[in-house]
Chain A
């Protein structure tokens, strides 16, 4: 339905330090998918990732929560969109965004029995493709919390498993008033690449959950996770848990990292107990934030973008000094990575879906800010450059390597 308008190529600032030469990954172009509060943009790089060509806006004026390329065909894009006036939907492109078609049946809750107050999807928040063994299968997480599945590449969606209407899950999900400012969310849907019947997801709020039988049964995975102190909240109850972002390591699917409302965690299966690795972050910065990114080949490396979670939760960069932090040893120690980022008076932050990595070597890192800037690092965070400014508030950034 929407045609894109090509924009001139943007050359990023020259780097002070040249990145290491590629060791094993052939240089490939990167596609960045940028979802914002007022539309979506695609940025395509050259093979060196130095020049970026902007393509957009797509869906100008739509609130786009997530834009994802199907990694199984590297051609199909799904966009989760709504507008201020209109209900939520999913758009699909099979030609890398040249043309879009709306899903025939977007995610929607089951109609409630007569006399009962049913829920309505406000927006689809998270899109997740199944592994290569299940071509065409996608999952979607919504606000308010709902889990949906498509088996036809995103054209039609149906509620997945029983959790959307399960009384126990509904209690854990709470009401709209218990959730994040723009609605409680089901997010971080992770499908185990070894077994598509093994899934995890997170709910803000509502904890972390796992199934090993394709959604027939679920178990709660909150052991070791802290809850907000001082209110007498029972840590055994999922409703008090607010995972912000879960990421499974591609190089080790038994390792999951989590950025939570109450710290940074690591889980090594088969253990079911999260370990708070954020305790080793600098005290002055803390371990509160939203996004978390894992290394495509090294399960000891993860990056976070801390924010100010003190007092009234300003949700800004701590002290107005944005920085990424990296661990190279699974959370024992953290290093600050801020070269090239503003050194003071920068009060933006990064939302949970707005930071990502490519698969190149060295890894390219990308994040989009609440102030509409798109930043990247070609050398795993040592040096940052700004690719784009003046976009609407950025909700999500995904990266994919093209052929």
Chain B
């Protein structure tokens, strides 16, 4: 499925769109990490929590639960959300 990657992670993905597969959000993130080693840990901490300034949307809805089931036509959007100077 299509995954939109924020600019802070383009050094891993090489661009803003990636293709990754999986039946859940966790599986898709694992597939992304297989394709682009290291990318997952920059978004998800060692306790499997989405990091503070990362937001993940599926078909426009924000998702916090990595066990969220996905189908191939879903669109995953990863957003960097940061304030301050």
Contact with A along B32-48 (1 / 0, CB 8 A): 00000110011111111
Is the CB–CB distance between B82 and A84 below 8 Å? yes
Q: Mark A residues whose CB is within 8 Å of B.
A: 1-2, 83-87, 89, 102-104, 106, 108-112, 117-121
Q: Which residue of B lies closest to A117 (CB)?
A: B47
Is the CB–CB distance between B47 and A86 below 8 Å? no
What are 18 A-B contacts defined by CB distance under 8 Å? A1-B11, A84-B53, A84-B82, A84-B84, A85-B80, A86-B51, A86-B53, A86-B54, A86-B80, A87-B44, A87-B45, A102-B37, A104-B38, A108-B46, A111-B46, A111-B47, A111-B48, A120-B49
Contact of B46 among A1, A85, A86, A109 (CB under 8 A): A109
Closest 7 CB pairs of A and B: A120-B45, A108-B46, A86-B42, A85-B80, A118-B47, A84-B82, A85-B53
B residues 41-67 with Cβ under 8 Å of A?
Answer: 41-49, 51, 53-54
Closest CB of chain B to A167's CB: distance in Å?
Answer: 18
Interface centre among B8, B47, B82, B84 (most CB of A within 10 A): B47
Give the chain A neighbours of B46 by CB distance below 8 A. 108-111, 118, 120-121
Is the CB of B6 closer than 8 A to any CB of chain A? yes
> Given the complex of chains A and B, what is the CA–CA distance between A171 and B84 in angstroms?
32
Q: Which residue of B lies closest to A38 (CB)?
A: B85
Give the chain A neighbours of B47 by CB distance below 8 A. 109, 111-112, 117-120
Give the chain B neighbours of A2 by CB distance below 8 A. 11
Give the chain A neighbours of B26 by CB distance below 8 A. none
Give the chain B neighbours of A112 by CB distance below 8 A. 47
